[in-house]
């Protein structure tokens, strides 16, 4: 049997029978990093290249292990130690699971404070980078001052300095990391090559498959209940927005789209009579491709039945370019975690009010 066939069989079995593909990938990466000097050198060299403009030296990485709990109960997927036994790199490995309440801030706080850089390294499928990076930044920005490092030559690596010290948050694709490891293992004669190739095959499958294998939890009532709750949040948020005089729905209907449930409204200011037609609801397509949130507001400045006051050019000027999340007409509405429904609704309406104020302000 060819090596290629073996790799395909391995990734096929893992993704369909284990039900815990991320856990398998974490253990495989931990096995490789704990056994291979060249794999650890590849990780260190990759991080050095990313941080080269900072002029900081990353010490030699000497060992790695999975699931090491910290004082605050934080347990990143992997800890990579340096020669002084400092936790120089914490690795969080992702395919499609969401971030937990401890990610990324508790892990960032766990990084050592010394003269060397320390890194929280998140690895994910290439196709998820554009949604995961703004979500990581959004969660961390309230707690840290940021200085971004631009990576114009590599779309599969993103990096930001965290705070004013020597902490860094790095997001990279599985492909970039494993290619670096494979290249160095081949040049050094390291016997870990076959293990890296097997993990590569699994990660490529996760990145490329349009239909992810179904798992039992996909059919649980909890999933359906959550979708219904998202629908309810959209409807009730519009009602609250109307009470703040930033929205009206006269003559407009609750109108599901092919991508999800939602309702039409006019968003802006009753006082200044500056309105733009909009649709607020669950947009599964944008959720999957653009930002990690189910709720979106789509603006329709050209709608023939909207009676808009604000033109498309004025709308763009007032809202700016960053708010659109790489879409031509839609804005993500982020939901807070770990709070009751009333606070979730308040946060949604606060975001709608911020948008409405910009619409109404020349």
**Lowest-pLDDT range of 5-19, 229-243, 327-341:** 5-19
Of 4-8, 149-153, 208-212, 279-283, highest mean pLDDT: 279-283
- The DSSP letter of residue 298 is E
* Residue 335 CB burial class (10 angstroms; 0-12, 13-18, ≥19): middle
pLDDT at 298 over 90: yes
Most confident of 60-74, 198-212, 231-245: 231-245
Residues linked to residue 266 through DSSP beta bridges, in sequence order: 248, 277
d(CA 46, CA 32): 16
Is 196:181 a contact under the CB 8 Å cutoff? yes
Tens digits of per-residue pLDDT, 257-297?
888 999 999 999 877 778 899 999 999 999 988 999 999 99
Mean predicted confidence (pLDDT) in 23-28: 91
Confidence at residue 321, expressed as pLDDT on a 0 to 100 scale: 85
pLDDT attached to residue 17: 55
Reply yes or no on whether the pLDDT at 151 is more than 70: no
Asked if pLDDT for residue 210 goes beyond 70, the answer is no
- The reported pLDDT for the residue numbered 58 is 92
**Residue 3: pLDDT band by 50, 70, 90 thresholds?**
very low
Residue 53 has pLDDT above 90, yes or no: no
- From 156, 130, 147, 137, select the one nearest 46 (Cα to Cα): 156
Give the list of residues 6+ apart from residue 188 with CB closer than 8 angstroms, or none.
37, 38
Helices and strands (DSSP H and E) totals, the chain:
11, 12
Q: What pLDDT, on the 0 to 100 scale, is given for residue 7?
A: 47
pTM for this entry: 0.73
Percent of the chain beyond pLDDT 90?
A: 51
Q: Helices 21-35 and 193-208: crossing angle, nearest 10°?
A: 150
In whole angstroms, give the CA distance from residue 331 to residue 144: 24
Partnered with residue 331 across adjacent β-strands are: 297
Locate 249 and state its tokens: 């729905």
pLDDT (0 to 100) of residue 93: 94
Indicate the SS3 state at residue 126.
Answer: helix
State the average pLDDT over residues 22-50: 93
pLDDT tens by residue, 246-263: 999 988 888 888 889 999
* Peptide bond connecting 362 to the previous residue in cis, omega within 30 degrees of 0: no
Average pLDDT, the chain: 86
Q: Work out the angle between the directed axes of helices 193-208 and 3-13 (0-180°, nearest 10).
A: 60
For position 182, what pLDDT does the model report?
Answer: 95
Nearest Cα neighbor of 112 from 78, 146, 89, 91 is 89
* Alpha-carbon torsion (217, 128, 237, 100), positive or negative: positive
């Amino acid at each position: 049997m060819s090596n290629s066939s073996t790799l395909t069989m391995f990734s096929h079995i893992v993704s369909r029978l284990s039900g815990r593909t991320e856990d398998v990938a974490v253990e495989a990466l931990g096995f490789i990093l704990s056994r291979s000097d060249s794999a650890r050198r590849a990780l260190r060299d990759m991080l050095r290249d990313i941080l080269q403009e900072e002029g900081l030296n990353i010490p030699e990485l000497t060992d790695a292990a999975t699931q090491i709990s910290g004082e605050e109960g934080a347990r990143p997927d992997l800890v990579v130690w340096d020669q002084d036994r400092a936790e120089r790199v914490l690795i969080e490995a992702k395919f499609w699971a969401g971030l937990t309440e401890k990610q990324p801030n508790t892990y960032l706080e766990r990084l050592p404070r010394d003269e060397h850089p320390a890194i929280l390294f998140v690895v994910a499928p290439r196709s998820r980078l554009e949604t995961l990076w703004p979500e990581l930044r959004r969660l961390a920005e309230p707690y840290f001052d940021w200085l971004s490092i631009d990576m114009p030559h590599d779309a599969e690596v993103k990096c930001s300095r965290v705070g004013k010290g020597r902490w860094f948050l790095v997001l990279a694709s599985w492909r970039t990391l494993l290619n670096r490891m494979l290249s160095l293992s081949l040049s050094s004669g390291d016997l870990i090559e076959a293990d890296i190739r097997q993990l590569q095959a699994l990660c490529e499958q996760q990145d490329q498959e349009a239909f992810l294998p179904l798992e039992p939890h996909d059919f649980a009532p909890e999933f359906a209940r959550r979708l219904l709750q998202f629908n309810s949040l959209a409807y009730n948020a519009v009602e609250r927005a109307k009470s703040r005089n930033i929205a009206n729905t006269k003559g407009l209907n609750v109108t599901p789209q092919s991508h999800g449930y939602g309702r039409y409204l006019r968003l802006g200011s009753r006082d200044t009579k500056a309105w733009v037609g909009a649709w607020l609801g669950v947009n599964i397509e944008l959720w999957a491709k653009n930002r990690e949130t189910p709720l979106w507001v789509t603006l329709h400045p050209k709608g023939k039945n909207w009676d808009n006051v604000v033109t498309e050019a004025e709308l763009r000027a007032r809202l700016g370019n960053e708010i659109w999340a790489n879409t031509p007409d839609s804005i993500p509405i982020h939901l807070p975690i770990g709070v009751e429904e009333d606070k979730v609704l308040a946060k949604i309406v606060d975001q709608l009010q911020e948008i409405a104020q910009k619409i109404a302000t020349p």
